[in-house]
Amino acid sequence: MLSFTLQMRHVHNFLQCAHANFRRSSKFICRFASSSSTDGKSSSQNNQVPEEPRPSSKPWREAASTMIVAPLNNAPPLFLGYLVIKRSRTSRVMPGGIAFPGGAVDPIDYDARWIDLYSEQGLDITRANLLADDAHIPEIYMDDDSQPFPKQISLRITAIRETFEECGVLLCRPNSAVGYYHNNPKYYSFKELDHRDKIRPWQRRIKENPDEFFTLCQQLKCTPDVLGLFDWNNWLSPTITPNRSRFDTIFYMVIVPHLLKVVTDKDEVRKAMVFTGLHIFINIEDIGHN
| Predicted pLDDT of residue 285 | 58
| Predicted pLDDT of residue 283 | 66
User: Please, which pLDDT band fits residue 280 given cuts at 50, 70 and 90?
Assistant: low
Question: Who has greater pLDDT, 125 or 76?
Answer: 125
pTM value? 0.77
Q: Does residue 107 contact residue 101 with C-beta atoms inside 8 Å?
A: no
H/E/C letters for each residue in the chain? CCCHHHHHHHHHHHHCCCCCCCCCCCCCCCCECCCCCCCCCCHHHHCCCCCCCCCCCCCCEEEEEEEEEEECCCCCCCCEEEEEEEECCCCCCCCCCEECCEEECCHHHHCCHHHHHHHCCCCCHHHECCCCCCCCCCHHHCCCCCCCCCHHHHHHHHHHHHHHHHHCCCCEEECCCCCHHHHCCCCCCCHHHCCHHHHHHHHHHHHHCCHHHHHHHHHHCEEECHHHCEEEEEEECCCCCCHHHCEEEEEEEEECCCCCCCCCCCCCEEEEEEECCCCCEEECCCCCCC
Spatial CA neighbour of 244 closest among 106, 61, 53, 56: 61
| Predicted pLDDT of residue 110 | 97
Question: Who has greater pLDDT, 210 or 76?
Answer: 210
User: Please, which pLDDT band fits residue 74 given cuts at 50, 70 and 90?
Assistant: confident
Q: How far apart are CA 64 and CA 73, in angstroms?
A: 29
Q: How far apart are CA 58 and CA 61, in angstroms?
A: 8
| Predicted pLDDT of residue 108 | 98
List CB contacts of 131: < 8 A, sequence separation 6 or more. Answer: 26, 27, 28, 29, 137, 141, 152, 231
Q: How far apart are CA 156 and CA 251, in angstroms?
A: 9
For the chain, give the mean pLDDT: 77
Q: Which domains can be identified in the chain, with CATH numbers?
A: 4-283 (3.90.79.10)
pLDDT at 172 over 90: yes
pLDDT digits (tens, 9 = 90+) for 25-66: 333 323 333 232 333 333 333 444 444 444 456 778 999 999
pLDDT at 20 over 60: no
| Predicted pLDDT of residue 26 | 30
User: Please, which pLDDT band fits residue 153 given cuts at 50, 70 and 90?
Assistant: very high
Q: How far apart are CA 45 and CA 48, in angstroms?
A: 5
Q: How far is CA 201 from CA 103, 113, 122, 207, in A?
A: 19, 23, 31, 10
Q: How far apart are CA 141 and CA 179, in angstroms?
A: 27
